[in-house]
């Protein structure tokens, strides 16, 4: 049975006998221990617990991005400032997974405080892309994506503020799903930009994303932005969807974006043809807002981050460097504790929120955010979904991109869903030159079930799967 555990969906793993579940846990644990030195996907590896709890995910191993709390584990956010911070409680998502019997096997690497797109900004070294170790896995949930892509865990959670679940999923050839804002509680997720942050699963198929989503979704009194009753979760399985007659909008401005790699574009266009053959009504629509999304995001997200990160002063949170006086101490704590990208965001955010510039930058960005959401909602009123490549490029080599702006532009296709609060999912399509390519389907806010059902039909047209699960690169198949 052993090797076949990589061929089972989460629902199937949870139905095995207790003895088999023990085997499953040691199988994945062994793989983590064997491969992590090459991938650096995990920052902390946890032991297999002595007893298993019952529940819908009983005995299913998983990993958490290291900005999500799990009592007793470290939560470092891949930052020196939190390198020895112990989680004092469980995040709501962690508690919900625990209640269903899922088994946490480790905490995964990320760009420091989830700020980045490559996992190169981790204070504990970059994670490698399982498809090519000389390339970035994407970010910021790069550790979670690499762990799932190499078959080290059947699923992992990540957080998505501007694309951090979907972009690494695309770069690593797995499924990454960002639910509608407000469906999954953020309590116990270390805040980056609270109006954009959302936790989501990384998995090897849409069915698995749904299985995990069902466990973590729902109102939480500790997160006032969560809602109940928006979607019907009584279904055990995803409702059947039909691609025939579906109205799918393809943003023509996304395809005209000069940073779009030709190879990604041609894979995407090929996939659209397959959709059209299945009867989907595909039309090109000019969104008109794409040129504003990166600028808007990089005003709002750093603004919120500069406020959220003020708590890391070495007094309330964080490592303390002793000093002569209070001011000096705070300065030193923050100077030595934060990496350059985090400092850049704090500076940017403090500047745009300062009274002299608030109207010119932050307030204006809020207005444009509204305009962007309105336009997306308008397109989603006339069409069922919006489809585009998840990222404009293939995963680059380490160190290939030097300047921050080029990195920021990589988020152009994923940011709109965060600004508008809509659900979006990245699924892998046929690879190019052995490298994964992802496409992103975005739907109406709270139409998450329709989104997942449709994405499930789209998976069937993709060459990235084997027996319904995203392929794992050959070199990780055997320990």
Tell me which residues are annotated as active site.
65, 140, 164
Q: Is 149 exposed, middle or buried (0-12, 13-18, 19+ CB in 10 A)?
A: buried
Compute the distance between CA of residue 314 and CA of residue 236 in angstroms, rounded to an integer.
47
Q: Which stretch binds ligand GLN (CB under 6 A): 41-49, 110-118, 234-242, 440-448?
A: 110-118
Tokens of 288: 């008109």
b/e burial code for range 360-372 (CB count within 10 A of at least 16 → b): ebbebbeebbeeb
CB of 35 to ligand GLN, least distance (A): 25
Residues 174-233 that bind ligand GLN (CB under 6 A): 192
Under the criterion CB under 6 A, does residue 140 sit at the interface with ligand GLN? Answer: yes
Closest CB to ligand GLN among residues 161, 390 = 161
Q: How many CB atoms lie within 10 A of CB 462?
A: 16
Compute the distance between CA of residue 216 and CA of residue 209 in angstroms, rounded to an integer.
11
Q: Could you tell me the strand order of the sheet in which 175-178 lies?
A: 42-45, 103-108, 61-65, 155-160, 198-203, 175-178, 424-432, 435-442, 385-389, 247-251, 281-285
Q: Which stretch binds ligand GLN (CB under 6 A): 24-32, 159-167, 307-315, 379-387?
A: 159-167
Closest CB to ligand GLN among residues 41, 196 = 196
Any long-range contacts for 97-100 (C-beta under 8 Å, 24+ apart)?
97/57, 97/62, 97/215, 97/216, 98/53, 99/53, 99/55, 100/55, 100/56, 100/57, 100/58, 100/215
Residues 282-321 that bind ligand GLN (CB under 6 A): 301
Q: Which stretch binds ligand GLN (CB under 6 A): 155-163, 306-314, 355-363, 369-377?
A: 155-163
CB of 466 to ligand GLN, least distance (A): 29
Single out the residue of 106, 142, 163, 303 in contact with ligand GLN (rule: CB under 6 A): 163
Cβ atoms 32, 9 nearer than 8 A: no
Question: Helices 206-216 and 92-99 sit at what angle, rounded to 10 degrees?
Answer: 100
Closest CB to ligand GLN among residues 301, 458 = 301
Closest CB to ligand GLN among residues 76, 117 = 117
CB of 302 to ligand GLN, least distance (A): 8
Cβ atoms 253, 288 nearer than 8 A: yes
Single out the residue of 58, 161, 180, 453 in contact with ligand GLN (rule: CB under 6 A): 161
Under the criterion CB under 6 A, does residue 162 sit at the interface with ligand GLN? Answer: yes
Closest CB to ligand GLN among residues 100, 161 = 161
Tokens of 230: 């928006």
Cβ atoms 177, 159 nearer than 8 A: no
Closest CB to ligand GLN among residues 297, 476 = 297
Cis peptide before 140 (omega within 30 of 0): yes
Q: Which stretch binds ligand GLN (CB under 6 A): 39-47, 112-120, 148-156, 262-270?
A: 112-120
CB of 468 to ligand GLN, least distance (A): 28
Under the criterion CB under 6 A, does residue 411 sit at the interface with ligand GLN? Answer: yes
Under the criterion CB under 6 A, does residue 164 sit at the interface with ligand GLN? Answer: yes
Single out the residue of 115, 199, 250, 368 in contact with ligand GLN (rule: CB under 6 A): 115
Q: Which among 275, 250, 233, 236 has a CA at the least distance from the CA of 389?
A: 250
CB of 366 to ligand GLN, least distance (A): 17
Under the criterion CB under 6 A, does residue 157 sit at the interface with ligand GLN? Answer: no
Q: How many residues bind ligand GLN (CB under 6 A)?
A: 14
Tokens of 26: 């040691």
Q: Which stretch binds ligand GLN (CB under 6 A): 161-169, 238-246, 250-258, 468-476?
A: 161-169
Tokens of 41: 């996907």
Closest CB to ligand GLN among residues 6, 295 = 295
List contacts with ligand GLN (CB under 6 A). 114-117, 140, 159-164, 192, 301, 411
């Amino acid at each position: 049975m052993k090797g076949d555990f990589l061929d089972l969906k989460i629902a199937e793993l949870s139905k095995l006998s207790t003895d088999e579940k023990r085997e499953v846990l040691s199988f994945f644990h062994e793989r983590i221990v064997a491969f992590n030195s090459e991938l650096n996907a995990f920052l902390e590896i946890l032991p297999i617990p002595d007893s298993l709890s019952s529940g819908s995910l009983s005995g299913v191993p998983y990993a958490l991005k290291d900005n999500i709390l799990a009592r007793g584990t470290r939560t470092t956010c891949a930052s020196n400032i939190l390198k020895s911070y112990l989680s004092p409680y469980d995040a709501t998502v962690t508690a919900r997974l625990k209640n269903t019997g899922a088994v946490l096997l480790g905490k995964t690497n990320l760009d420091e405080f989830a700020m980045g797109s490559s996992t190169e900004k981790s204070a504990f070294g970059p994670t490698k892309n399982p498809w090519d170790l000389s390339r970035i896995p994407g970010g910021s949930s790069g550790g979670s994506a690499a762990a799932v892509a190499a078959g080290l865990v059947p699923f992992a959670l990540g957080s998505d503020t501007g694309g951090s679940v979907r972009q690494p999923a695309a770069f690593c050839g797995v499924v990454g799903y960002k639910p509608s804002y407000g469906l999954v509680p953020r309590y116990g997720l270390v805040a980056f930009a609270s109006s954009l942050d959302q936790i989501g699963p990384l998995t090897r198929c849409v069915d698995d994303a749904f299985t995990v989503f069902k466990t973590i979704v729902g109102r939480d009194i500790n997160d006032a932005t969560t809602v109940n009753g928006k979607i019907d979760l009584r279904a055990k399985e995803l409702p059947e969807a039909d691609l025939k007659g579906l109205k799918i909008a393809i943003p023509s401005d996304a395809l005209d974006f000069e940073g779009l790699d030709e190879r990604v574009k041609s894979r995407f266009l090929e996939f659209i043809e397959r959709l059209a053959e299945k009867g989907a009504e595909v039309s090109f629509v000019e969104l008109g807002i794409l040129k504003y999304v990166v600028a808007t995001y990089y005003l709002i997200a750093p603004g919120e981050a500069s406020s959220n990160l003020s708590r890391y002063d070495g007094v309330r949170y964080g490592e303390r460097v002793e000093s002569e006086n209070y001011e000096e101490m705070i300065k030193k704590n923050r100077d030595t504790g934060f990496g350059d990208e985090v400092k850049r965001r704090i500076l940017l955010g403090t500047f745009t929120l300062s009274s002299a510039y608030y109207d010119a930058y932050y307030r204006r960005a809020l207005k444009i955010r509204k305009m962007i959401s309105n336009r997306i909602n308008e397109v989603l009123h006339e069409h069922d979904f919006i489809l585009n490549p998840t990222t404009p490029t293939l995963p680059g080599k380490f160190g290939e991109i030097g300047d921050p702006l080029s990195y920021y532009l990589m988020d152009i296709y994923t940011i709109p869903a965060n600004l508008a609060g809509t659900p979006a999912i990245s699924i892998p399509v046929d690879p190019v030159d052995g490298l994964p390519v992802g496409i992103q389907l975005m739907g109406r806010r709270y139409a998450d079930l329709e989104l997942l059902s449709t994405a499930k039909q789209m998976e069937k047209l993709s060459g990235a799967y084997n027996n319904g699960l995203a392929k794992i690169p050959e070199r990780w198949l055997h320990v």
